[in-house]
Structure 1
Amino acid sequence: MPLLACCQPPFRYLAVVSKRTGILILLCLSILGLLTCLSLSQREPTYQGKGITFWLDQYFEVDYGNIPTYGNFPTVPTKSPAKQFELKKQARLAIQAIGTNALPALLKMTAATDSALKLKMMGMVSRQHAVNFGLKEDWYYHNLSRTGFQILGPAAGPAIPALTNLLYDAEPDVRDTALFNLGSIGPQADEAIQTVAKHCVEDEEFSCLYNLETLVSVQKQPRFFIPLLINKLRKPQTNITIYKVAIIALGQYGPDASSAVPEITRFLTNQIPSLASAASNALKQINPAAAQASVK
Structure 2
Amino acid sequence: MATDALPDYAPVPADAFGPAVNESGYFVGRVRGDLYWVTDSFYQAMFLTTTDGVVVVDAPPTIGRNLLRAIEEVTRARQRPAHVTHLIYSHSHADHIGAASIFDRRVTRIAHARTKGLLKVARDPNRPVPNVTFEDSYTLRVGGERMQLSYHGPNHSPDNIFIRVPSAQTLMVVDVIFPGWAPFQNLAESQDIPAWIAAHDTVLATPWHTLIGGHLGRLGTRADVLLQRDYVQELVASTQAVIGALDPTPFFVKYGATGNAWAIFKAYLDAAAGQAAAPVIAKYTGRLAAADVFTTSNAAALVNSTRIDAGNLGPFGTHR
Give me the TM-score of the superposition, normalised by structure 2.
0.28
- Whose strand fraction is larger, Structure 1's or Structure 2's? 2
> Which one has a bigger Cα radius of gyration?
1
- Whose helix fraction is larger, Structure 1's or Structure 2's? 1
Q: Between the two structures, name the one with larger relative contact order (CA 8 Å, sep ≥ 6).
A: 2
